[in-house]
């Protein structure tokens, strides 16, 4: 592919790899110290990206809190939404930061408080999306989930760094995990990581990985 932004994934999971409660309801996994780390990370990138289900389930703001960063700069918010289902009252469509919704050629027309970009016919084409964002001056992106989006980025070999906070809790059962999608059925399909850093902080462990693509 042509030039693309640097892609960093960040997520918080339980010890058993879950990122939400059963049914997808949000749970606070990060500690205050981890929130501070995430907001500093947000402040260093050009854009923060999530999938449409995260918007529908959590209604996040995706801004940088002044509590954690002095004079925050608020990166562009990017939502991947193939069918343009985003509710008009979603918090990411407020005026706190610019927002780009990436959808497909097959999605209908709608007026929303965001720029709309089309990439792919029925499913957002990640490479096309990254190229278009790069051309708009976005040189680094923090992908914050959920598990379906994280797996797509990893599977398509588009990830440079992976940061995981492992909170000291167990959720159990069939709750959403860090990496959803099809998953690997053959050993050669697993995604290999290289552990770069491991740090104990309040409430859990921060792990930093690089991704080993062949």
Ligand X SMILES: NC(=O)c1ccc[n+]([C@@H]2O[C@H](COP(=O)([O-])OP(=O)(O)OC[C@H]3O[C@@H](n4cnc5c(N)ncnc54)[C@H](OP(=O)(O)O)[C@@H]3O)[C@@H](O)[C@H]2O)c1
Q: Interface residues with ligand X (CB under 6 A)?
A: 11-12, 19-20, 24, 26, 29, 50-54, 57-58, 80-83, 85, 123-124, 126, 144-149, 152, 176, 180
Q: Which is nearer to ligand X, 5 or 71 (CB)?
A: 5
Supply the minimum distance, in Å, between the C-beta of residue 12 and ligand X.
Answer: 4
Q: For residue 52, which of 76, 83, 29 has the smallest C-alpha distance?
A: 83
Gap between the Cα atoms of 6 and 159, Å rounded? 8
Q: Considering Cα of 78, then 81, then 35, then 183, what sign does the dihedral take?
A: negative
Q: Considering beta carbons, is residue 71 or 207 the nearer one to ligand X?
A: 207
Measured from the CB of residue 160, what is the shortest distance to ligand X in angstroms? 17
Residues contacting residue 42 through CB under 8 Å, at least 6 positions apart: 48, 62, 63, 64, 69, 72, 75, 142
Minimum distance, C-beta of residue 71 to ligand X, in the bound complex (Å)? 25
| Nearer residue to ligand X within complex by CB, 85 or 96 | 85
In angstroms, give the least distance from the CB of 28 to ligand X.
9
Nearer to ligand X, 187 or 199 (CB): 199
**How far apart are alpha carbons 3 and 167 in whole angstroms?**
35
| Shorter beta-carbon distance to ligand X: residue 17 or 98 | 17
Phi and psi torsions of 208, nearest 5°: -115, 125
| Distance from C-alpha of 164 to C-alpha of 195, rounded to nearest angstrom | 11
Cα-based distances in Å from 48 to 23, 99, 207: 24, 10, 20
Q: Closest separation between CB of residue 50 and ligand X, Å?
A: 6
């Amino acid at each position: 592919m042509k030039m693309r932004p640097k892609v960093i994934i960040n997520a918080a999971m339980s010890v058993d790899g879950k990122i939400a409660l059963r049914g997808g309801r949000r749970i606070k996994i990060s500690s205050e110290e981890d929130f501070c780390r995430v907001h500093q990370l947000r402040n260093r990138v050009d854009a923060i990206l999530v999938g449409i289900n995260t918007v529908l389930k959590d209604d996040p703001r995706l801004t940088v809190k002044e509590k954690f960063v002095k004079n925050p700069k608020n990166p562009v918010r990017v939502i991947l939404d193939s069918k343009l289902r985003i509710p008009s009252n979603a918090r990411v469509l407020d005026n706190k930061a610019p927002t780009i919704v990436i959808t497909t050629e097959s999605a209908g027309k709608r007026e929303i408080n965001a720029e709309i970009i089309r990439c792919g016919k029925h499913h957002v084409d990640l490479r096309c999306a990254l190229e278009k964002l790069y051309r708009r001056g976005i040189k680094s992106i923090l992908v914050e989930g959920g598990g379906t989006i994280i797996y797509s980025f990893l599977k398509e070999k588009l990830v440079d760094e992976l940061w995981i906070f492992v909170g000291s809790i167990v959720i159990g059962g069939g709750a959403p995990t860090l990496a959803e999608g099809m998953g690997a059925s053959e050993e050669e399909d697993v995604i290999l990581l290289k552990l770069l850093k491991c740090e104990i902080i309040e409430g859990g462990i921060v792990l930093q990985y690089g991704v080993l693509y062949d």
